[in-house]
Structures are given as C-alpha cells and as structure tokens.
Structure 1
C-alpha cells in the first residue's frame, strides 16, 4: 500500500513494477530485485568498483524553504552499511546542498529502516532522495532498497512533543544528559514492519560515562492540565538482558520545579527494541511535563537507545472507562491492586511480551494453594443510580481454576462500604484470553467503586493473568440527535466490536435505505477501528422522519448483529431558505435565501433523418437526461458571499436541499458558470443576487468526508510556537483543519 503523504509515485516508492523512478548517481548499476515487502519488487544496487555508490530519484519534488521534510527507506545489505540523504535543488535544478543521515552501525541482510529529516534550505525549490552504499571494497557488491518515502515528517497524532523530540531524526537537541551520561545519535539495525512509519533510522543513544546510574531527560516540556491522565511511551533498547532500563513521566510546576515522577522499568526479553509505557495523572500544581530515561547500575560505556518518544492525554481503550491506565494494563506494576482475602499474590508478568492482551504486561495472580482469593482494584469515581459495566480480560496461566467471578464493590464519598454487586462467574479453560463482563446499578450514595475479581484455584501454584480492566457507565448503544441550525443529524455509536465490518443506513418512512457517508466514503462494510464512533449525516433529508440501521459483520457478507436508532426529523426554520452542501467538505455548507426556483429542462440527444417520399421525419433518440435549470438565490452579507464562493470554488458535486412542499426533491447537482450581481446601487449594500446553472448529478459514492483525522490543537501547538508561524504554512483555517500545507 502507498505510504500516506508520500511525494514519490507508487512505482518509485515500491519499485513495482519497475525501476523507472530511479537512476544511478555514483559508481553503480541498478535493476529490479525480488523479495520486497511493499510489493515484491525492490531496488537492487550493485557497485561498479570499490568506493561509495549512490542512486537518486529520477524526478525531483517541489519543496518549500524553511519547511522540514523527512525521507526514509528500508534497506538490506549483508556486506556494507547504508545511509539515506535529501538532495536540495534550486529552481534551475542545480544542487544547493545535501543532507545525509548517519551511517547504519553495521551491515545486515535483514530489512531495516534508514531515515533522515531536515529543513529545506533557503533557495531550495526541489528535492531528490539519495540512497547510498558506504564504500564497498570491490565491484559487484549488492544492497537492496524499497519502501521509500519523501514528504512531511510522520509523527504520532496527539503527541505533546514535536517531531524533533519524538524521533531525533533531525538532531538530539530535544534532550539533555542528566546523570553520568553523554548523548548522541546512532542508527542501529532494527527491523520494523513495512507499514510502521513512525519509527526507524536515528535513535537517541544515552551512553554511561562511568559505572553507575545514567540518565537523560527531555528539554522540551509541553503544557499539561492538572487532573488529566497522561500516557507516555518509548521504544527502549537495553545494552544487555540484565540491564535495568527505565522511563519516567515527570511533571513540573510553573517555575520549572519537578513535583511528581512516575517510573516504569522495562523487563526485557532480549536486547531488541521494546515499547515501554508509563502513565500518571497530572497533579494539582502541574504546568508542564517531560520524559526521562536511563539505566541503573550501568557499566561504563553501556548504551541505552530510545526511539519514538510520545506523551499524550490518555484515551482509554473502552470509551468512558474510569479505571486509570496503570490499574488497567499493568505496564508499570500491579497498578495498586490488593488481595483483601485469600492466599493469592500479585505481580506484573515478566518478561516484556510474555503474557499480555493490551500493552506488553498483565497482572499475574498466583495462588500457592487450592483456595478462593479476592482481588480488588483502586477506587474510581462513579455516579449513583446508573448502570455500570465492569470488564476484565483473563487467561489461564498455570494450574487450574474452578471459576472466576467479576463484580463491582461500591463505596460512599468517605470510603464507607456499600456492598458488592452479585457479578457473574465464568469458567476459564486454558488456551485463550477471555473477556468477562458484568453489569450493576450503583446504589444510592455511591460515589466510588472498585473492580473485584474472585478466583477459585482448584490446585496449588495456579496462575491467572488479568488485563484490560475497564469500568464505565453503560450509555445507549445508539444515540441520535438533530442539529437543525447546522443542517445535519449526529449519530453516536458505542460498544462497537473493533475489527468487525460495519454498514450504516438512513431509513425513511417509505422503507428506502441510503448509506451514510463517512471519512472513507459511503459506510458499506467498512472496518470498525474504534469501540465508539460519532457520525454527522449532512445528507439527511429535511422535514422527513428518518432512523438509522447499523449492520455489523464478523466477515465480509456475514452479518453478526444489527442495531437501530430512534426516529428524528431535521427541520428548516425558514421555508424561503435552502441548503447548498458539499458532501466531502461539510464545513463549507451554506444556507442561502431562494429568490426563484429553476424552470427545469430535460435535454435529450436526437438525430432527425428526412426520408425521401415520407411526410414525417425519423427521429433516433438517446435516453432523456436529468434536470437542468437556473437557481436564483440571494446572499445577505459579505460573510455569506465569501462562504458561497468557498463552496463553489472546488467545482465538486453539491447537494441542494429545500424544505418539503416546495416542489423540489433533494438533488445532487453540478454548478456551471455563476453570475453574481448587486441588489441595489448603494456601494455598501451587502446583499447579492446569484444565478447558479444546475445540472442534476448522481450521488458521489466514493467521496469521503474530509476531517482532522484525529489531529487536535495539541498537535498544532506541538509543531508551531506562535499563531504567526501558521500564516506561512496554511492559507486558510480550513487548510489548518485538514493539515493541507502550502507548497
């Protein structure tokens, strides 16, 4: 699949079906190799003689001076290491400068990532990607390259850190040594998935200056909000299996004083790259946060490497869960769980990745004897009188378990015991992870609750793994509400099965069904990627009662379940107005005043033939076409006029919706040449009269709804220091919304 945002063509990126996107630059020949992962093809580079070899993209790609760009590729070479570069060219195609990555630390036949990022220099107009084998000792030395990218930096959406701190692809300036350490950048050989674009290339290397503890911390300290839970993670590569490598999430007050530290220690299964999580709630006085990492008891010269450093506001895997991440996923310990009764002991599973459903660890519950044990989570806030659902994900680890019961224990505001729910008991046979749930209504006075797990061990040394704990108020599976002033219906879907397929239909009283539009077009057996989803249906008819049908598929064509919503009606306050909408860009939708409805024509292609000796012509006709006519409207202000221009600028197919009873059905239309005139002679008059020539169109099927794709203002703050910095990057606020940059 093509890498999102890649300036390179698919052929140049994947070297499929040929090498036409590449040309030798220095001391080499090229051909197409096999065994690639982004398609079967790969670029085979062979040295002509001893010395460095270089290849470049045939095309050069437009860049903007002052903007940061990233290039990466996957490489394979058993003989010599590689590097990747960006070649900056001026408007005449002449080379201004080169930006090279560091050289890979060793040669390796396994596919591994090489990467570089830099700011386009002054005078740069175009750029090319360079791939290099470093100084083969003889001719006919071969290396392979594929999965090549050039474009804007790919960073983690929602990361409070900017790209430079997250990736160290540019430099290590986002970090500072703290204790017994020096910092540098290195490019170790690490194999990443061909579709994992957020890691690879340069890593931050923390080297212990002498024997003892060594640490480094971020200089970058993004703002945080007190009371909000934050989740940090990074890939750590320890120097030895026995190394004590750790990551910390730190909070600072407004004066820069460190006021809280939460550490998570990596339990490495080897010396590869392992992602370690750590989470904490920002304390009352917190103003900023940072990340630190290090080694305890390091030997002199030992190196800890970091990759893809992220801190972001925590979003629970189950929307609305009140259980903190530390008590849910057990990434940094036992998460505050206790054993109020029974012989069971608690520990975090070890090593990394040995037993986990979410993250890399789970809670290991060990019962030395055949007995019943009760496990209890820390208290979490709840609301009385409403239904709450508790969920755990468990797996039989060793021994045997008669049953596992999951329930909720209720408490008042001062910790007074209000009893437990009955819960549900489940059998947990060996071999799989099982999701266990139970529901209960919080009793009067309940403000806090704990999740309780009651396990009955049937033999000595029985082990149960617990993960994915959640407690949330059970809201309607389907909720629907109208936003008539903005011309759309909002549909909220909850507790969706992730990795299933889903279709969403709008149903009218006559039984007709129409697919609802989402980000990837009409939602017709599209993958479910989140357990909760909010859809805005901007194509719902006006003045007509509608309801929604949701079909869930376990596999293509196999319906697992269906859901339906209540009926709602979208209204139009003034029958003299009508909506003009862009299905792909609902932010451009305009409410306009109708001056005069069209007088419709339905053209038809005809050929008339005169037959000698016959009175009547012979007419050969095609099929009669859709409606055509001129819609006359008014705009009442400069703001409405500018909005209508924005709507019409794209030339996209539009949706025209008038109030029922006006003799016009909802219609998709193309708008031809537009005329704009003044209503009166006064120069200050803001009203305008418009004539829009309309031609009826079919509903766009593949067009998706543009949106921020998960970006928030935090992503903007992480990349730009001031609002003024945005002016040179985005032409309009819509461009900012869609991350559509100039150049």
Structure 2
C-alpha cells in the first residue's frame, strides 16, 4: 500500500514488482526477496566482503533547503544491525552531507522500524535514501528492507507538540532531565504494524542516574485554553515488569509556574511498548501544558523509553457527553466513581489491555457477596426539561450477575437531590461486551446529574467490567439545514454505530436516489470512524425539495438499519445568477451572474457512403453525444474574477446549477478555452464578460471532497513559529488548508 505523502514511487517503496528503484552504493549486491509485509517483495542486500554495506535509491528527490524531511523503512537482519540515512545532493548531484540514524541496538530477524529525520542543508536540491548494514564480518551476510518512506515528517494530526517533541527522530532537544536522570536517543528493535507510520526508529531514553525516582519533562510548552479537556498519551517501554512507570500531563500559568499535574501509572503486561492515555481539564489560570514521564523506585541505569508523545483536544467517546474522559474510560484510575450502597469495590483493571472496550483499562467492579450494589459517577452539568441518555459498556468477567440497571440521578445547583430515573435493567451473559442505555428527562431545576449503575451479583466473588460511560442530551439522529447563501445542504448524523458501514443517498421527489459525496468519494458502504458525522452536500439541486436516506451495514452488503431525514429545499436569491461548483473542492465554488444561456448543440459521429446506383447515401451513426454550448457570464468585482480563475485553473469537471424554471437542468460540464473581456474602456472598471465553452460530462464518482483532514490552526502553530515561515512553504491559503507544500 502506498504510504501517504511518500516521494518514492510504489515500486521503490514496496520493492514490488522488482528492485528497479534501488542500486548498490558500497560492498553489496541486491536482489528481490520474498516474505515482505507491504506486498510480498522486499530488498535483499548481501555483503560482498567484510565491512559496511550501503544501497541507495536510484532516483534523487527534490527537496527545499531548511525544510525537515523524514525517512523510514522496515528492516530484518539476524546477523548485523542496520541504520538509515538521507543523502543530500546539490543541483549537480554532488553529495553535500548525510543525515544518519543511530544504529539499531541489536540485530533481529523480525521486521522492525528504522527511521531518521533531518533538515535539508543549504545548497541541497535533491535527496536519496540510504540503507546500511553495519560492518558484516564476512561476505554473504544478508539483510532485508522494505516499506520505505521519504517525505515530510509524519506527525499526529491535532498534536499540540511539534514533530521534534512528538518524535525523537531529529534529536532529543524537546526533553530535559528533571530528577535523577539523563535523556538520550536509542533505537531498540520494535515491530510496529506495517501501516503505523507515526512510531518507530528513535525513541527517547530516560535513564536513571542512581537508585531512586527518575523523571524527564518536555521543554516544549504549547498553549492551552482554560476549561478545555485535553488527552495526552505516549508509548512507554518499562525496563522490567515490576517497574512503576508513569506519564503526567502538566499545566502551567502565564509565568511558567506549574499549577496542575495529572498522573497515570502504567500497569504493564510485559516489557514491550504500551500506549498509556490520560486526560485532564485545563484549570482556570492555565496558559501552557507539558508532559513528564518517569520511573519510581528505579535501579541505577534502568531505562524508560518513550515513543509518539501527544497532547491534543479530547475527542469524546460519544459526541456531546458531559462526563469527563477520566470518568468514562478509566485510563488513570477509577475516575471518581463511588459505591453508594452494597458490598461492591472498585478498581482500575490490570494489567494494561486485559479488560477494555475503549482505551486500555476498564472499571473493575467486585462483589464479595451475592447482593445489589449502586455505583455512581461524578456529577456532570445538565439542562432541565430535555431528554438525556446514559450509556455504559459492560462485560461479565467471573461469577454470576442477575442483572445490571442503568439510570440517572438528578441534582440541583446546590447539590440537592431531585431523585433518580427508573432506568432499564439488562441481563449480562458472559462472553461479550454489551452496550446498555437508558433515557430520562431531567426534572425542573436539575443542573447536575450522575450516571448510576446497579449490578445485582448472584454469587460471591463476582466481577464485572464497566467501560465507555457517557451521558448526553438526546438530539435528532439526523438533521438537515439548507445553507442557501453557500449553495449547499448541511447534513448532521448522530449516534452512528462504531465498526459499521454507511451509505448516504439524496432522494428527489421522483424517487431517484443519488449517493452523496464525502472525503473518500461517494459514500457507499464506507467505514464509520466516528459516532457523529457532518456532511455538506454541495451537489444538492436548487429549488427542489430533497430528503436523505441513511443506510447502515453491519458488514459489507448486510443492511442493519436505515434512517430518513425531513425534506429540505435550497433556494437562489437572484434567478439571474447560477452556481459553478467543483465537487471535489467546494471552497472554490462561485456564484456568477448569467449574461446569456448556451445555444446547445449535440454532435454526433457519422460516416456517409455513396452507393452506386442509389439515390440516397447510407449513413452510419454513432450515439448522439451530450450538450455543447457557450455560457456567457459576468463577474462584477476583482474578487469574483480571481475566484473564477481559481475555479477554472484545475480543469476539473464542474457542476453548473441554474435557478428552477430557467430551462436548464443541473449539469456536470468540462470547460474548454475561456475568453475574458472588459465591458468598457475605463481601466478601473471591474466588470468582466466571460465566455465558457461547456461540454456535458458524467458525474465524477471517485473524487472525494478535499478538506483539512482534521488539521486545525493548532497543527500550523505546532509546526511554524511565525506567519512569515508559511510564505516559503505554501503558495496560497488553499494550499495551507489542504497542506499542499511547495516543492
């Protein structure tokens, strides 16, 4: 599979179907091996004699000086360790320098990641990837490489930290020792998933200087907003199974004083890498944040390794839930839950990954006797008079449980008890996770509420796991809004089931169904990656009442549920205007003033034959083609003129939409050579007259709607220090939106 943003060709990346993307550089031969992960092929490198071996890409790839680039590959070599490098070349192809990774700590036959990042030096115009086996002691020593990437650094979208702090592929300057520790970089042997591109290669090593507690913290302190909930995580590798390894999210005021710290202790099942999550709400005086990590009770020389360090705005388990993540997913403890009655006790599940539906831990409920217990979450803000839904996800662990009831307990602003909803009781058989919900309307005066879980144990020593808790106001499952000023209909879908597939249809009054376009093309049995989805349908017809049908599939082709929207109609304020739209780039859509509609032609391919002795010719015809004609329009301002040029520059298939009653149906068109003229002699006149030769086209079916793909201004701030830095990277504001970088 092609790695996103890779400058290398698929053949060079995958070493499939051949090794044509690679050539020898030092002391080796190459051939195609088998057993790869990114396709079957891989690069087999064999030493000719003792000493280091090197291979490089055949092609050189354009780079920009002072811009940071990353390269990585998966390697396998049972005899000697490896390293990877970026070879910087000038315009004449001469080598300027090489940015090498550290050498892998040990040789390993298992596929493992090697990686490095560096800044292109002054004078660099091209770059090559270098793969190296370190000093084989004899000829015929073999290593394998594949899944190779060269391009801009791959970082976690939404991370408040820049690439240098998230990953130590450049250096360890984003970290500083805090207590009894040193920080450095190491390259342990780690087998990451072939398509997990955000980890691997260098890791941060926090080494205890002497026996005792050891810790390190980030130097980078990105800005935060008070009252916002943040999620932090990192992959931790403890030195021993019994190590007390922890991760901490810290908040600082404007003067740099630490004002809050939230810690999560890893419960490791082994000594591999495990992602530890934690969350916290930024306090009122918070201005910045940071991450710390460490070992409690470490022995001298013990090492805690970190990989992929992230802090980002929290994406809740359920859109709109008012419960904090810590009380919903139990990643750092029991989340403030209490037992208000009964013999049950609460604890975070252990070890990491043993019992979890969301994240890596759950709430473990243990009842020593056969009895009923009541568990209560912390209070969360609610609005009275509206419907609220409580949700838990539970699994029967051991023992026997008669039932589990889910309900909501209401309180006023002073903490006064306003009663408890009846809730619903469910049977929970062993073997699976079950999603349990109950709805209730908040009584008058309610401003706070807690989720209550009432499990009934039928035997002593019964254990129940609880995870994925949420409490949210119940809103329509599907909502539509006509945004006529923008020429689109906004479609909001809620409470979508995870791991299902979805199709979205637009239905016109004649019953015709048309798939709606999304980021990955027409939405036809595409995977659901969030419980909520907001779509903008820029291809909805003008002046026609439409509705939407949602189909949910449990697996491909297996329809599980459907939903339908209310009818909605787009309008056009001025019938003399029409829309010209790029379905894949709605940010370019233009509302233009029509001067004259086309005089249509429908060409046809024909061949005429004269038959001797016959009066009439014999004409062989193909199928008559679609409409062709010239659309005459005006632009009234320089801004409209520039916007129309931007729309037409790509040469993409466009959608032309006129007002109802104008005798023109919505039409996909391609635009040939355009003409732009002035309407008067005055130089300052901004009006322009345009002739657009249109040829009718079929609807593009594969094009997806381009967008920021989750990027926000925070991602820009994390990567660039000033606005001036953007000028050398992005040619236009649209390039910034779509993260299309120059070079």
The DSSP-based 3-state class of the residue aligned with 1:647 is helix
Q: CA deviation at 1:426?
A: 1.0
Counterpart CA distance in 1 for 2:279 and 2:522 is 38
Counterpart CA distance in 1 for 2:10 and 2:547 is 42
2:287 alignment counterpart: 287
2:36 alignment counterpart: 36
Counterpart CA distance in 2 for 1:128 and 1:337 is 55
The DSSP-based 3-state class of the residue aligned with 2:194 is coil
Q: Are 1:703 and 2:703 an aligned pair?
A: yes
The DSSP-based 3-state class of the residue aligned with 1:173 is coil
1:377 alignment counterpart: 377
Q: Are 1:387 and 2:376 an aligned pair?
A: no
CA RMSD of aligned residues (A): 0.8
2:249 alignment counterpart: 249
What does the per-residue CA deviation read over 1:545-604, in whole Å, with 9 as the maximum and x for residues that have no partner? Answer: 000011111122221111110001100000000000000100000000000011011111
Counterpart CA distance in 2 for 1:610 and 1:397 is 88
1:199 alignment counterpart: 199
Q: Are 1:669 and 2:660 an aligned pair?
A: no
Q: CA deviation at 1:615?
A: 2.2
The DSSP-based 3-state class of the residue aligned with 1:645 is helix
Counterpart CA distance in 2 for 1:279 and 1:553 is 33
Counterpart CA distance in 2 for 1:428 and 1:172 is 49
Counterpart CA distance in 2 for 1:355 and 1:631 is 64
Matches within 5 A, 1:122-201: 122-201=122-201
The DSSP-based 3-state class of the residue aligned with 2:158 is coil
Counterpart CA distance in 2 for 1:329 and 1:524 is 32
1:314 alignment counterpart: 314
1:627 alignment counterpart: 627
TM-score (norm 1): 0.99
Counterpart CA distance in 2 for 1:588 and 1:485 is 14
2:733 alignment counterpart: 733
The DSSP-based 3-state class of the residue aligned with 2:355 is coil
The DSSP-based 3-state class of the residue aligned with 1:343 is coil
Q: CA deviation at 1:685?
A: 0.3
Matches within 5 A, 1:542-553: 542-553=542-553
1:304 alignment counterpart: 304
Q: CA deviation at 1:105?
A: 0.5
What does the per-residue CA deviation read over 1:671-697, in whole Å, with 9 as the maximum and x for residues that have no partner? Answer: 011000001111100000000011111
2:680 alignment counterpart: 680
What does the per-residue CA deviation read over 1:28-62, in whole Å, with 9 as the maximum and x for residues that have no partner? Answer: 11111111111111111111111111111111111
Comparing 19-28 with 100-109, greater Cα deviation is found at 19-28
Q: CA deviation at 1:614?
A: 2.3
1:442 alignment counterpart: 442
Counterpart CA distance in 2 for 1:560 and 1:62 is 49
Counterpart CA distance in 2 for 1:22 and 1:508 is 55
What does the per-residue CA deviation read over 1:428-474, in whole Å, with 9 as the maximum and x for residues that have no partner? Answer: 11111111111111111111110111111111111111111111111
Counterpart CA distance in 2 for 1:461 and 1:189 is 42
Q: CA deviation at 1:612?
A: 2.4
The DSSP-based 3-state class of the residue aligned with 2:715 is helix
Counterpart CA distance in 2 for 1:3 and 1:202 is 20
1:492 alignment counterpart: 492
Counterpart CA distance in 2 for 1:457 and 1:663 is 71
Comparing 146-155 with 607-616, greater Cα deviation is found at 607-616
Matches within 5 A, 1:375-454: 375-454=375-454
Q: CA deviation at 1:514?
A: 0.9
The DSSP-based 3-state class of the residue aligned with 1:735 is helix
Q: Are 1:63 and 2:63 an aligned pair?
A: yes
What does the per-residue CA deviation read over 1:121-162, in whole Å, with 9 as the maximum and x for residues that have no partner? Answer: 111111111111100111111111111111111110100000
Counterpart CA distance in 2 for 1:497 and 1:458 is 31
1:15 alignment counterpart: 15
1:267 alignment counterpart: 267
CA contact (8 A) 2:405 2:426 kept: yes
Q: Are 1:512 and 2:544 an aligned pair?
A: no
1:106 alignment counterpart: 106
Comparing 608-617 with 348-357, greater Cα deviation is found at 608-617
2:362 alignment counterpart: 362
The DSSP-based 3-state class of the residue aligned with 1:465 is strand
CA contact (8 A) 2:85 2:99 kept: yes
1:83 alignment counterpart: 83
CA contact (8 A) 2:707 2:738 kept: yes
The DSSP-based 3-state class of the residue aligned with 1:270 is coil
CA contact (8 A) 2:46 2:139 kept: yes
Q: CA deviation at 1:611?
A: 2.2
TM-score (norm 2): 0.99
1:467 alignment counterpart: 467
Counterpart CA distance in 1 for 2:282 and 2:479 is 32
What does the per-residue CA deviation read over 1:483-536, in whole Å, with 9 as the maximum and x for residues that have no partner? Answer: 101100000011111221111111111111111111111111111111110110
Matches within 5 A, 1:455-604: 455-604=455-604
CA contact (8 A) 2:223 2:288 kept: yes
2:339 alignment counterpart: 339
Counterpart CA distance in 1 for 2:692 and 2:498 is 44
Counterpart CA distance in 2 for 1:474 and 1:638 is 47
The DSSP-based 3-state class of the residue aligned with 1:319 is coil
CA contact (8 A) 2:229 2:313 kept: yes
Counterpart CA distance in 2 for 1:623 and 1:231 is 60
CA contact (8 A) 2:175 2:217 kept: yes
| Moved beyond 4 Å, runs of 4+ | none
Q: Are 1:721 and 2:725 an aligned pair?
A: no
1:54 alignment counterpart: 54
CA contact (8 A) 2:317 2:325 kept: no
Counterpart CA distance in 2 for 1:197 and 1:673 is 43
Counterpart CA distance in 2 for 1:499 and 1:258 is 40
Counterpart CA distance in 2 for 1:614 and 1:395 is 87
Counterpart CA distance in 1 for 2:499 and 2:4 is 21
Q: CA deviation at 1:12?
A: 1.0
Counterpart CA distance in 1 for 2:49 and 2:474 is 69
The DSSP-based 3-state class of the residue aligned with 2:660 is coil
The DSSP-based 3-state class of the residue aligned with 1:451 is strand
Q: Are 1:234 and 2:258 an aligned pair?
A: no
Counterpart CA distance in 1 for 2:608 and 2:78 is 75
The DSSP-based 3-state class of the residue aligned with 1:121 is coil
What does the per-residue CA deviation read over 1:307-364, in whole Å, with 9 as the maximum and x for residues that have no partner? Answer: 0000011110211111111111111111000001011111111111111111111111
The DSSP-based 3-state class of the residue aligned with 2:373 is strand
1:217 alignment counterpart: 217
Q: CA deviation at 1:245?
A: 0.7
Counterpart CA distance in 2 for 1:551 and 1:328 is 29
Counterpart CA distance in 2 for 1:90 and 1:294 is 43
Counterpart CA distance in 2 for 1:40 and 1:418 is 64
Counterpart CA distance in 2 for 1:318 and 1:602 is 53
1:115 alignment counterpart: 115
Counterpart CA distance in 2 for 1:323 and 1:431 is 27
Counterpart CA distance in 1 for 2:737 and 2:340 is 51
The DSSP-based 3-state class of the residue aligned with 2:546 is strand
Counterpart CA distance in 2 for 1:425 and 1:208 is 51
The DSSP-based 3-state class of the residue aligned with 2:645 is helix
CA contact (8 A) 2:11 2:19 kept: yes
Q: CA deviation at 1:739?
A: 0.2
Counterpart CA distance in 1 for 2:563 and 2:456 is 37
Q: CA deviation at 1:613?
A: 2.5
The unaligned stretches of length 5 or more in structure 1 are none
